[in-house]
Amino acid sequence: MDKAVFPAGAYCRAVEQVIAAGQRMDRFGWVPATAGNISIRLPDGNLAITRSGGHKGMLGVDGVICVDATGRPLTTGDRPSAETLLHCQIYAHDPHAGAVLHGHSVASTVLSRLGGDALVLDGYEVQKVFAGQSTHAAQVRVPIFDNDQDIARLSGVVAPHLDGMCAGYIIRGHGVYVWGADMDTALARLEGLEFLLACELEERKIR
């Protein structure tokens, strides 16, 4: 199948947004080397997602490909990331999700390696960036799941917890997954989460 089957305007806008998001994430150091992946749900339910192996801060239009809702490439020869299934899982679970971001920051990598099955954020004003949060006087739980190269098995571990994830989740020693109704919302939530994780890491240094 060829990309020409997609509405050109919608597909082009999605590619532009993915490229811009990659550049922004790169500026903050959240997608080193070839790490991370970015996707947008298209109007027909298919996804525009970053191609496997590319640097997200240096994406061109050829660095974004189309897959269907199950992660199957729509153009012969295209190779999506193995983690595409985790994007598909989020879209399938949340009909309002319009964009998914996955980054590999220092803070998420280090904090998740310290043990535990979640990070609990408490008392931060920036917590209000997450859905359903209206005050700093609340706790936000960010689940941590052990890394697994078998993505289908990992998605099965994540699935029962998706309902309670207002701030996304962390794969241990790997990075975060965050999503939102559109790219702007997803980026705001990613930036909020990464700010809070950086604060937690800095606080632990001075305790």
Query: What residue segments make up the domains of the chain, in order of their start?
Result: 3-206
The rounded radius of gyration (Å) of the Cα atoms in the chain is: 16
Q: Say how many C-beta atoms besides its own lie within 10 A of residue 94's C-beta.
A: 16
The model's pTM: 0.92
On the question of pLDDT at 179 being above 70, the answer is yes
Across 194-200, average pLDDT: 95
Distance CA 103, CA 108 (A): 9
Binding residue per annotation — 174? no
Across 11-37, average pLDDT: 95
Binding residue per annotation — 102? yes
On the question of pLDDT at 164 being above 80, the answer is yes
Mean of the per-residue pLDDT values for the chain?
Answer: 92
Q: Where are the beta strands (DSSP E) in the chain?
A: 37-41, 47-50, 64-67, 99-103, 118-122, 139-145, 169-171, 175-180
3-206, which class in CATH?
Answer: alpha beta
Look up tokens 């150091």; give the residue: 29
